[in-house]
């Protein structure tokens, strides 16, 4: 089938290029970072450098964060949306999907956050930090409170890190990323507003890892059996009135498959320059729209205040922008990645004694020539034009082009069926009358899945099916409900190939350790069950990636870290356990009535939610 190439709009891609400030002093020297010292990185090239970061202002013994933006108006609501079935949990420590994580981010703050323009670590619940060699002394903001009025203290920080994260409760990604030579940091309480972390070695990502949310001890530990029931804690059927939060908003209402409503936290520790408590907007509403088409309909009916535009819709929206009630922003390359994962798992289920993956398919998937053949058969340029309508760039690496560790030396390749077929021939595959057979005479037929309702991924699945048919591979493509897909990936391991996307950090690859470490909970292509976490049944190149992530995290020099992360991307490109497709350009439309917007290629459009306000008289 011929694909008509449609180029409907030329877009200038704004890539984020960041520098890193490296400590070159003696590791025993003292370094203090506080909110007044967070300055733009002079080596950075940004979409907008004008966002003034908040400062600490102490009033009557309370260490508030004071917004430096123009004073806005109180009231109104902001209505956004989420695609799919809605949140699976409101527990920030058990969340494994983007929707649930977005909801919990609204409700819970961490000790630190990321400067939206420079990517540097910035204080949040913490007021400042002293770094003395391998010791990190965290000074908390005094006088700030949980949504129920209970003070936020060092006891909450100790409880979060010692009893939840380091204890391995919930999603262990943060815990696993904090291991240094197999050891976790030591933590102790100095006083009610001071905590000390001691790490075994200098660890480049450490301070950024402290952005994990802090839990209210008095709320989480109220029941004696809270640890046993932790995975069910803050389930979506929890009474919103009982939930205690530290973030800008608290849960008001959740109606499954319809909406999630948040109202502002009256005890939030942000204030404006007039000393008034933020956020400005009274209600934050997430409409659960099911799919992208329904999302578009709701935006056009003025039921949504913002939308992420598909490539096919950008030209139409841009043509109407001047006379509309919305503004369009181009935020450059997406921080995440879109890819096909191939199941290399060669383990047996210890309970059934059967292989998780059919042994015949195991031989195909574990053959790098087979994987490279798929890589060369994929027509990324046609995907960019037909699905993203030119609003993307072909992707070949595990890091987004938006990232500071992106390996620009990996140039990738065009589609080449002759090279694809030569890879197959090397491993004895034979093409007969348009059908591919392995050297044992087995017809090559594989299953491909993605999450139903995501029309972009569904369209990609159709194109992959067509592309692989050109080298004789029969692809059975079937989108399935997201929870079922997650269960296949993380529990049953019963899948062949999947199309997925993962969010990423453009400033810290170590955040992806849970994907690339062979014991990682998101090590999709060779997932281990919880009772099989020994370092066995992994490939030599997987071991090398394990080593790279351990060594890179211990490097304080940006150049040395860059070499390691370049190497891991090269390994992934050469071995192709995950085949990357393209990197979308992020195009957003948002209503003109929403003010105090400071778009960032790094952080997006509404990262400063507590500072946004609705201008009266605007629709």
Fold of 30-45+57-63+91-231: Dipeptide-binding Protein; domain 1 (3.90.76)
pLDDT in the model for residue 55: 96
CA dist 355 and 82 (Å) reads 37
pLDDT in the model for residue 48: 46
Judge whether residue 112 has pLDDT over 90: yes
Q: In which region does residue 612 sit, left (phi positive, over 0), alpha (psi from -120 to 50) or beta (all else)? A: beta
Other C-beta atoms closer than 10 Å to the C-beta of 256 total 12
Judge whether residue 121 has pLDDT over 60: yes
pLDDT in the model for residue 140: 98
CA dist 470 and 418 (Å) reads 11
Q: Which residues pair with 435 in a beta bridge?
A: 432
Judge whether residue 535 has pLDDT over 60: no
Least confident window among 29-38, 101-110, 125-134, 386-395: 29-38
Global pTM reads: 0.77
Q: How confident is residue 602, by pLDDT bands cut at 50, 70 and 90?
A: confident
Q: How confident is residue 534, by pLDDT bands cut at 50, 70 and 90?
A: low
**For all residues of the chain together, what is the average pLDDT?**
87
pLDDT in the model for residue 520: 84
**Tokens encoding 441:** 């005479």
Q: Which residues pair with 476 in a beta bridge?
A: 447
Where in the chain is CATH 3.90.76.10? 30-45+57-63+91-231
Judge whether residue 612 has pLDDT over 80: yes
Helix (H) or strand (E) holding 241: none
Alpha helices in 251-334 (DSSP H): 292-300, 311-320
Mean pLDDT along residues 575-587: 93
Query: 209-248 burial, b for 16+ CB within 10 Å, e for fewer?
Result: bbbbbbbbbebbeeeeeeeeebeebbebebeeeebbbbbb
How do residues 155-176 score in pLDDT, each as one tens digit?
Answer: 999 999 999 999 999 988 899 8
pLDDT in the model for residue 173: 85
pLDDT in the model for residue 47: 46
Check: CATH 3.20.20.140 for 337-584? no
Mean pLDDT along residues 379-402: 91
Helix (H) or strand (E) holding 502: strand 497-502
Least confident window among 428-432, 459-463, 542-546, 613-617: 613-617
Judge whether residue 58 has pLDDT over 90: yes
**Tokens encoding 594:** 């929403």
pLDDT in the model for residue 249: 98
**Tokens encoding 515:** 């994907």
pLDDT in the model for residue 531: 59
CA dist 220 and 216 (Å) reads 6
**Tokens encoding 305:** 């205040």
Q: How confident is residue 542, by pLDDT bands cut at 50, 70 and 90?
A: very high
Judge whether residue 307 has pLDDT over 70: yes
Judge whether residue 19 has pLDDT over 70: no
Judge whether residue 521 has pLDDT over 50: yes
Judge whether residue 5 has pLDDT over 80: no
How do residues 341-380 score in pLDDT, each as one tens digit?
Answer: 999 988 887 778 888 889 999 999 999 999 999 999 999 9
pLDDT in the model for residue 138: 97
Higher pLDDT, 417 or 510: 417
Other C-beta atoms closer than 10 Å to the C-beta of 297 total 12
Q: What percent of the chain has pLDDT over 90?
A: 66
Q: How confident is residue 44, by pLDDT bands cut at 50, 70 and 90?
A: very low
Q: In which region does residue 287 sit, left (phi positive, over 0), alpha (psi from -120 to 50) or beta (all else)? A: beta
- CB-count burial class (<10 Å; 0-12, 13-18, 19+) for 151: middle
Q: How confident is residue 617, by pLDDT bands cut at 50, 70 and 90?
A: low
CA dist 520 and 153 (Å) reads 32
Mean pLDDT along residues 497-504: 89
Mean pLDDT along residues 423-439: 97
CA dist 60 and 69 (Å) reads 23
Does 279 sit behind a cis peptide bond, omega within 30 degrees of 0 on the bond before it? Answer: yes
How do residues 319-336 score in pLDDT, each as one tens digit?
Answer: 999 999 999 999 888 888
CA dist 260 and 250 (Å) reads 11
CA dist 522 and 518 (Å) reads 9
Judge whether residue 76 has pLDDT over 90: yes
Judge whether residue 33 has pLDDT over 60: no
Where in the chain is CATH 3.10.105.10? 337-584
């Amino acid at each position: 089938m011929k694909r008509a190439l449609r180029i409907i709009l030329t877009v200038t891609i704004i890539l984020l290029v960041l520098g890193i400030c490296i400590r070159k002093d003696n590791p025993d020297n003292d370094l203090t970072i506080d909110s007044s010292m967070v300055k733009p990185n002079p080596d950075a090239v940004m979409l907008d450098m004008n966002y003034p970061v908040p400062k600490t202002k102490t009033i009557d013994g309370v260490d508030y964060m004071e917004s430096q933006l123009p004073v806005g108006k109180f009231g109104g609501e902001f209505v956004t949306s989420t695609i799919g079935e809605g949140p699976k949990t409101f527990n920030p420590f058990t969340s494994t999907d983007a929707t649930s994580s977005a909801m919990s981010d609204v409700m819970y703050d961490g000790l630190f956050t990321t400067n939206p323009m420079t990517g540097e670590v910035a204080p949040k619940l913490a007021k400042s930090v002293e770094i003395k060699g391998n010791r990190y002394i965290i000074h908390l903001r005094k006088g700030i409170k949980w949504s129920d009025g209970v003070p936020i203290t060092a006891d909450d920080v100790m409880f979060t890190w010692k009893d939840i994260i380091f204890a391995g409760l919930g999603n262990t990604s943060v815990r696993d990323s904090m291991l240094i030579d197999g050891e976790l940091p030591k933590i102790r309480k100095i006083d009610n507003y001071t905590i000390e972390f001691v790490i075994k070695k200098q660890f480049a990502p450490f301070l950024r890892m402290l952005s994990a949310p802090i839990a209210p001890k008095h709320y989480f530990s109220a029941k004696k059996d809270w640890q046993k029931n932790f995975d069910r804690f803050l389930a979506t059927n929890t009474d919103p009135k009982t939930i205690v939060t530290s973030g800008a908003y608290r849960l008001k209402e959740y109606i499954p498959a319809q909406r999630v409503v948040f109202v502002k936290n009256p005890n939030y520790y942000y204030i404006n320059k007039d000393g008034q408590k933020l956020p400005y907007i009274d209600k934050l509403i997430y409409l659960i729209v099911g799919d992208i088409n329904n999302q578009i309909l709701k935006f056009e009916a003025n039921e949504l205040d913002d939308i992420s535009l598909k490539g096919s819709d950008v030209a139409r929206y841009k043509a109407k922008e001047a006379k509309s009630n919305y503004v369009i922003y181009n935020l450059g390359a997406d921080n995440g990645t879109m890819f096909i994962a191939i199941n290399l798992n060669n383990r047996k289920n210890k309970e059934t004694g059967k292989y998780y993956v059919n042994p015949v398919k195991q031989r195909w998937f574990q053959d790098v020539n087979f994987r490279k053949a798929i890589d060369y058969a994929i027509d990324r340029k046609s995907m960019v034009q037909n699905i993203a309508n030119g609003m993307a760039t072909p992707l070949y690496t595990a890091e987004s082009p938006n990232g500071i560790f992106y390996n620009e030396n990996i140039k990738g390749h065009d589609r080449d069926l002759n090279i694809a077929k030569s890879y197959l021939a090397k491993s004895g595959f034979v093409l007969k009358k348009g059908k591919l057979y392995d050297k044992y005479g087995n017809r090559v037929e594989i299953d491909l899945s993605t999450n139903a309702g995501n029309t972009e991924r569904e369209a990609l699945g159709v194109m992959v099916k067509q592309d692989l048919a050109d080298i004789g591979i029969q692809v059975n493509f079937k989108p399935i409900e997201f929870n079922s897909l997650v269960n296949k990936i993380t529990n049953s391991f019963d899948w062949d190939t999947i199309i997925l996307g993962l969010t990423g950090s453009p400033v810290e690859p170590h955040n992806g350790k849970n994907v690339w470490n062979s014991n990682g909970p998101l090590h999709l292509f060779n997932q281990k069950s919880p009772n099989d976490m020994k370092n066995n049944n992994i490939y030599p190149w997987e071991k090398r990636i394990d080593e790279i992530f351990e060594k890179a995290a211990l490097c304080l020099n940006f150049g040395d870290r860059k070499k390691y992360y370049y190497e891991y991307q090269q390994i992934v490109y050469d071995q192709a356990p995950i085949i990357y497709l393209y990197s979308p350009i992020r195009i957003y439309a948002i209503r003109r009535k929403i003010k105090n917007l400071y778009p960032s290629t790094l952080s997006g459009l509404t990262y400063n939610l507590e500072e946004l306000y609705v201008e009266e008289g605007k629709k």
